[in-house]
Amino acid sequence: MKVAILGWGVDIQDVEPYLRAQGNEIDILSEPFGDLKKYDMVVRSPGVYRYRPEFEGVNMTSKTKIFFDVCPGKIIGVTGTKGKGTTSTLIYEILKKAGKKVFLGGNMGKGVFGDLDKMDSESWIVLELSSFQLIDLHISPHIAVVLMTTSEHADWHKDVDEYVNSKANLVRFQTKNDYSIINSDYENCRKIAECGYGQKIWISRKDWKGEMRLRGEHNKENIAAALAVSKILNISEKVTHEVIRGFRGLEHRLEEVKTVDGVTYYEDSFSTTPETTIAAIKSFSEPLVLIVGGSEKGSDFTDLGRVISEAKNIKAVVLVGLMAERIKQAILNAGGKTRLFEGAKNMEEIIAQTKAISKSGDIVLLSPAAASFDMFRNYKERGDQFKMVVLGMGA
């Protein structure tokens, strides 16, 4: 067959050798795509919107759809507005500890086609799946996990209904032999639960009351979801709780870096919106030195300013990047009396400002609430630089 791949991000590249090995002739296209009707099959990257006018009459598929068609094992699909990566990884670690043959992939830049030849009917494949991947999914996984679902990607989806309907495909095609784990705390999750015939298992952050290494009340929702998967698979509580107690979370997401002179440094560079930074702030009761700011992402900082001004434990805020002034004004408009520091031009200067104001027992938290492109290439580089400077400090 003559096959076109639309886009060439890291999340599509592993399907190309698989398709080529099937004897297909492959063209890799970037925009504009030209006449797609000459191809027998067109494989879109997740970021390419499915229902563009020029796709009318085209045999369109996706890497995710192809994988669901050919995967020999059982799939555990995880979606939600927030928490997908953390929950997917936690489920993977629990299954691995329990001795299952398990693979992890989906929306995290890790391809699954490279492991396809290692999979068999006894394999479990944990996939983190975004609305981009789910919008045209035609098969639901054996176990579907629907985490907090609010709204996101308004620039990609035509409306919130399309976003929620895309997520609903995770459960829509389930049979009575399948399972849907649904967070009951959110209205959109309850809507999604109306789809499909899978056995519905309701979870809430109130379900987890045990010890955990992860910070934040929101992570109790992620743990509750992983716990529900463990129960379906009859994994012992001893194994599950051991993994949960030791799980440190994902890189760049409320990641504990190091304690220096009694001050503990946390890196949360993945928080590029006010909402995720608010969740990070609420994860700590200790005295907090907060690093916020970065480049424009069209965010409204009003609520963030209010949360910072009302938080009793925030002793200082280090403002950085192009959004520093807007966040500062949001704090001042909310009546905030927190000490504000400005002017740092690089990560060394940012950390130096925090050192000058922090003391033993304090937390220094990088949770920017903004994109990174004014000072860094991406959120990963921003987080990596933070960790490099902190790890280079004395014990």
pLDDT band for 81, please (50, 70, 90 cuts). Answer: confident
Asked if residues 249 and 214 have their Cβ atoms less than 8 Å apart, the reply is yes
- Asked whether the predicted pLDDT for residue 19 surpasses 90, the reply is yes
Q: What's residue 211's pLDDT?
A: 86
The residue assigned the tokens 């809430």 is: 204
Q: What's residue 121's pLDDT?
A: 97
Contacts within 8 Å (CB) and 24+ apart, 21-28 = 25/1, 27/2, 27/3, 28/4
Q: What's residue 97's pLDDT?
A: 98
- State the Cα–Cα distance between residues 82 and 78, nearest whole angstrom: 11
Strands 255-260 and 263-267 turn out to be antiparallel
- State the Cα–Cα distance between residues 373 and 344, nearest whole angstrom: 16
Q: What's residue 297's pLDDT?
A: 83
pLDDT tens digits, residue range 333-387? 999 999 999 999 999 999 999 999 999 999 999 999 999 988 999 999 999 999 9
Asked if residues 3 and 63 have their Cβ atoms less than 8 Å apart, the reply is no
Quick one: which of 218, 222, 235 has its CA closest to 282? 218
Quick one: which of 215, 152, 228 has its CA closest to 184? 228
Q: What average pLDDT does the chain have?
A: 93
Q: What's residue 109's pLDDT?
A: 56
Helix axes 347-357, 379-391, angle to 10 degrees: 50
Q: Residues 238-262: what's their mean pLDDT?
A: 92
Q: What's residue 150's pLDDT?
A: 76
- Asked whether the predicted pLDDT for residue 8 surpasses 80, the reply is yes
Q: What's residue 248's pLDDT?
A: 83
Here the tokens at position 280 are 């990070």
Q: What's residue 154's pLDDT?
A: 56
Measured on CA atoms in the order 270, 274, 275, 279, is the torsion positive or negative? positive
pLDDT band for 250, please (50, 70, 90 cuts). Answer: confident
pLDDT tens digits, residue range 162-193? 888 999 999 999 999 999 999 999 999 999 99
Tell me the one-letter amino acid at 352.
A
Quick one: which of 312, 322, 392 has its CA closest to 352? 392
- State the Cα–Cα distance between residues 395 and 257, nearest whole angstrom: 12
Q: What's residue 11's pLDDT?
A: 82
Q: What's residue 156's pLDDT?
A: 63
- Asked whether the predicted pLDDT for residue 3 surpasses 60, the reply is yes
- State the Cα–Cα distance between residues 353 and 289, nearest whole angstrom: 10
pLDDT tens digits, residue range 145-167? 999 887 656 566 667 888 889 99
Q: What's residue 342's pLDDT?
A: 96
Q: What's residue 68's pLDDT?
A: 97
Q: What's residue 108's pLDDT?
A: 63
pLDDT band for 395, please (50, 70, 90 cuts). Answer: low
pLDDT band for 237, please (50, 70, 90 cuts). Answer: very high
Sheet holding 263-267, edge to edge: 255-260, 263-267, 363-366, 288-292, 314-319, 339-341
- State the Cα–Cα distance between residues 356 and 343, nearest whole angstrom: 14
pLDDT tens digits, residue range 37-58? 999 999 999 889 888 999 999 9
Sheet holding 143-146, edge to edge: 102-106, 124-128, 74-79, 143-146, 179-183, 199-203
Here the tokens at position 257 are 């870096």
pLDDT band for 107, please (50, 70, 90 cuts). Answer: low
pLDDT band for 257, please (50, 70, 90 cuts). Answer: very high
Q: What's residue 201's pLDDT?
A: 98
